[in-house]
């Protein structure tokens, strides 16, 4: 069984601390058996002060990190030493020193500071809460910080934006490990969306739009039902009953990306789902997802994930369904 170990640091944020056990703990196979074991530790095994008005007790010290397949570091509001000079406190460095090479490392929100200070994000893409992005850039100049996304998957090291983006990242890991069917079931169990549109840009503080301004949500829902059909910007704007310019502006304000980028992302998600859950030929998957041809799907999937449809299918589809 895949073991996830969560490292709780002083000042940990309780919401994000609970995400791994809630998401990974809900993942079960067809026979109802758990797919993950989730343990929580502190550097010395002692109680941990949270950012709220209570502390927590943990059952393990940092030695359990040596047994982890995945290590998750939630955010803490007591990372002043790292945020001030980028240096990893000795206690945390000693805890991480027992982690086996090749262990998957995950930083939720400002937990990414710990990974950066440990040198695990050097010359790699990463994200954090949009409010912290500039500070991370200043401290860790070799880290390629992207403040606009909900999470970054760089293989064995993953980082997320703030708060609920930790849910997005953990669901992504379940999907990566066991496919979309199990990840979707976890999402249903936890009453959260399997994935969210757009990135952090939609949450950055900006002037409030006029109350009379309409939303593009109905048009997005309408488009989701027609991903296999040709959908141009003029057609989307016509459905929303606004000009192309107005629709594009409102869409970007609400979603944080352009209509074309959003539409491509939805089609890629649909194609991934079909590759995981069907034995359809690639051309048929491409037509159903709105890419028209297998060549077009291969181009978009490679640009997004760096793999071909066949490789993606071999990776994510259960062996019995290939």
pLDDT of residue 18: 97
Only one residue has tokens 């992504």, namely: 172
CB-neighbour burial class of residue 156 (10 A; exposed 0-12, middle 13-18, buried 19+) = middle
For residue 253, the model assigns a pLDDT of 84
Query: In this predicted structure, what is the pLDDT of residue 209?
Result: 45
What count of other Cβ atoms lies within 10 Å of the Cβ of residue 10?
20
Q: Say what the pLDDT of residue 79 is.
A: 83
Whole-model pTM above 0.85?
A: no
Report the pLDDT value the prediction gives residue 171, as an integer from 0 to 100.
Answer: 93
> Which pLDDT score is estimated for 317?
62
Cβ proximity of 149 and 161 under 8 Å = yes
pLDDT of res. 273: 87
| 8 Å CB contact between 240 and 218 | yes
In the predicted model, what is the mean pLDDT of the chain? 90
Q: Residue 214's pLDDT is what?
A: 63
Give the span between the Cα atoms of 71 and 9, in whole angstroms: 13
Intervals of the chain under pLDDT 50: 202, 205-213
> How many other C-beta atoms are found inside a 10 Å radius of the C-beta of residue 14?
13
């Amino acid at each position: 069984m895949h073991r996830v170990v969560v490292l709780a640091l002083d000042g940990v944020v309780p919401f994000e601390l609970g995400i791994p056990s809630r998401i990974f703990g809900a993942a079960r196979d067809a026979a109802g058996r758990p797919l993950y074991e989730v343990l929580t530790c502190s550097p010395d095994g002692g109680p941990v002060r949270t950012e709220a008005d209570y502390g927590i007790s943990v059952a393990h010290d940092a030695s359990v990190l040596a047994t982890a397949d995945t290590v998750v570091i939630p955010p803490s509001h007591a990372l002043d030493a790292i945020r001030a000079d980028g240096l990893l406190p000795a206690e945390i460095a000693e805890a991480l020193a027992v982690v086996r090479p090749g262990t998957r490392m995950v930083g939720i929100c400002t937990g990414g500071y710990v990974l950066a200070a440990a040198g695990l994000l050097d010359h790699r893409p990463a994200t954090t809460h949009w409010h912290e992005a500039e500070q991370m850039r200043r401290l860790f100049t070799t880290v390629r910080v992207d403040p606009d996304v909900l999470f970054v998957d760089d293989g064995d090291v993953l980082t997320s934006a703030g708060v609920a983006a930790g849910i997005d990242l953990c669901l992504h890991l379940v999907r990566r490990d066991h496919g979309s069917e199990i990840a979707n079931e976890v999402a249903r169990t936890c009453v959260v969306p399997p994935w969210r549109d757009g990135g952090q840009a939609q949450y950055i503080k900006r002037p409030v739009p006029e109350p009379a301004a309409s939303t593009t949500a109905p048009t997005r829902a309408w488009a989701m039902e027609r991903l296999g059909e040709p959908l141009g910007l003029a057609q989307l704007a016509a459905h929303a009953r606004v000009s192309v310019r107005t629709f594009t502006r409102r869409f970007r304000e609400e979603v944080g990306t352009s209509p074309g980028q959003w539409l491509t992302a939805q089609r890629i998600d649909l194609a991934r789902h079909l590759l995981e859950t069907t034995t359809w030929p690639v051309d048929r998957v491409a037509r159903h997802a709105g890419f028209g041809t297998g060549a077009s799907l291969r181009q978009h999937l490679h640009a997004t994930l760096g793999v071909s449809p066949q490789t993606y299918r071999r990776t994510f589809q259960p062996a019995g369904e290939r």
